[in-house]
Amino acid sequence: MTATDYEQAFWLPYTANRAFWKSPRVIQSAQGHHYTTAAGDRLLDGFSGLWTSGLGHCHPRIVAAVQSQVAELDYSLGFQATNDKAIELAGQLAALAPGDLNRVFFTNSGSEAVDTALKIALAYHHARGEGHRSRLIGRERAYHGVNFGGLSVGGIGANRKAFSACLLPGAAHLRHTYERSQMAYCRGQPAWGAHLADDLERLVLLHDASNIAAVIVEPVAGSTGVLVPPVGYLQRLRELCDRYGILLIFDEVITAFGRVGAAFAAERFELLPDILTVAKGITNGVIPMGGVLVREGIYQALMQGPEEMVEFFHGYTYSGHPVAAAAGLATLAAYEEEGSFEQARAIESLFEEGLHSLQGEPNVIDIRNIGLMGGLELAPRDGAPVGARGFDAFRDCFESGVVIRNGGDTLQFSPFLNSTGDELERIFDCVRGALRRLR
């Protein structure tokens, strides 16, 4: 390989790689709310990592916990044995979670957490003698990671296109919850749209409830463009799942740990799912980790047969990794000591005002938000690929010293839980300037 080939060996995820290597954006260090690039430029992170780092980068408590743990126990086998940090973290998560979501299965990512949750749902029905409940219901425009289970229940066409022949045959989809004519520029939950949950009735009539294992939804759909659930929608979905004996799974990989001003979106929306997935904020993004929180009755249904038998044939080499668990423990401690969830709730209105101040800027066709999640949708550029205008806005902001994210032509915002008013103002002023420079 030539030196140039070696420098470009890295195949970046969800990236236009050929365009990237013509003008690489390389982060070399981070501290607090800022990145520093390889060129020495300092950037304000307006997306807190990738929905991950709500406490800020290189948080001293988490850094110290990781350094200490890796020197004490770097790894231990996780099958038929475990480590003390994984046990402690599971207990703390169970104590933090609402209701009886008190059993925790660790994974290494949100994608793995989703696939694990789906398998738990199927195994639960099988253990109860209802193995015919094998159909899984997702939702259009949903993102549930990139493993085959998550892709199957996910509803973003570009993610599914190349792999459609190999997706799970038993997956079906609810209609999505977004209708711009009824919801444009809504602040918080739209008043219109609770009835959209009744689309589950259509699938029950089509497939019969006795064949449906679970419904999985993001409480707030994140990567597809921050689609906020209508008032009453999630509650209606819970009622229908209860009526037909269907498990309700909340994918909270993005929404957990303060992103909507509470430990979990289930708490913010005041309802209890049967299974709940987490990742990202569980370690503040420091070490890859995910998890599945399961209600007690589901866990107990699987604890059958001889005690020496494996009850659930599933797991990963790094499930409950001790260094990740130590990072998770330090992260939960920091959330509590710093009042992070309360901090996030306190700056919601400031974030909302700043985001909606961009209404009327060139090419803006919608703005939506809840908690510290925001989406600003741009009109697609005529004759250009979908997302071209959004990417140009992202790149303009990056070059101007602020990092946001574009998902297609929707600019996405996910500020730190402890962001200041000045930082929010700078983010939105930067976006405003980029929008005015775009064609």
Q: What is the CATH number of the domain that holds 355?
A: 3.90.1150.10
pLDDT beyond 90 at 374? yes
Q: How far apart are CA 381 and CA 258, in angstroms?
A: 35
Instruction: Let me know whether 280 and 132 are in one domain.
Output: yes
Instruction: Let me know whether 83 and 145 are in one domain.
Output: yes
Mean pLDDT along residues 220-247: 98
Q: Report whether 13 contacts 370 (CB < 8 A).
A: no
Instruction: Let me know whether 273 and 243 are in one domain.
Output: yes
67 C-beta neighbours (distance < 10 Å), count? 12
Q: Report whether 103 contacts 296 (CB < 8 A).
A: yes
Q: What is the CATH number of the domain that holds 185?
A: 3.40.640.10
Instruction: Let me know whether 68 and 202 are in one domain.
Output: yes
pLDDT beyond 90 at 3? no
Q: How far apart are CA 231 and CA 246, in angstroms?
A: 22
pLDDT of residue 2: 64
H helices present in 186-307, as ranges: 199-207, 233-244, 265-268, 296-302
pLDDT of residue 5: 74
Instruction: Let me know whether 40 and 162 are in one domain.
Output: no
114 confidence band (pLDDT: 50, 70, 90):
very high
What is this structure's pTM?
Answer: 0.97
User: Which of 338, 358, 380 represents a domain boundary (last residue)?
Assistant: 338
6 confidence band (pLDDT: 50, 70, 90):
confident
Instruction: Let me know whether 325 and 409 are in one domain.
Output: no
Alpha carbons within 13 angstroms on the beta-carbon side of residue 123 total 21
Instruction: Let me know whether 346 and 393 are in one domain.
Output: yes
Structure confidence by residue, pLDDT tens digits, 177-202:
999 999 999 999 999 999 999 999 99
Instruction: Let me know whether 36 and 112 are in one domain.
Output: no
C-alpha distance across the termini of the chain, in Å: 40
Instruction: Let me know whether 252 and 187 are in one domain.
Output: yes
User: Which of 279, 314, 338 represents a domain boundary (last residue)?
Assistant: 338
3 state DSSP class of 275: strand
How many structural domains are present in the chain? 2
Instruction: Let me know whether 277 and 289 are in one domain.
Output: yes
Mean pLDDT along residues 264-289: 98
Structure confidence by residue, pLDDT tens digits, 32-50:
999 999 999 999 999 999 9
Structure confidence by residue, pLDDT tens digits, 236-255:
999 999 999 999 999 999 99
- What integer best gives the mean pLDDT of the chain? 97
Alpha carbons within 13 angstroms on the beta-carbon side of residue 382 total 2
User: Which of 338, 354, 372 represents a domain boundary (last residue)?
Assistant: 338
Expressed as residue numbers, the domain containing 365 is 3-58+342-437
Instruction: Let me know whether 88 and 133 are in one domain.
Output: yes
Instruction: Let me know whether 267 and 242 are in one domain.
Output: yes
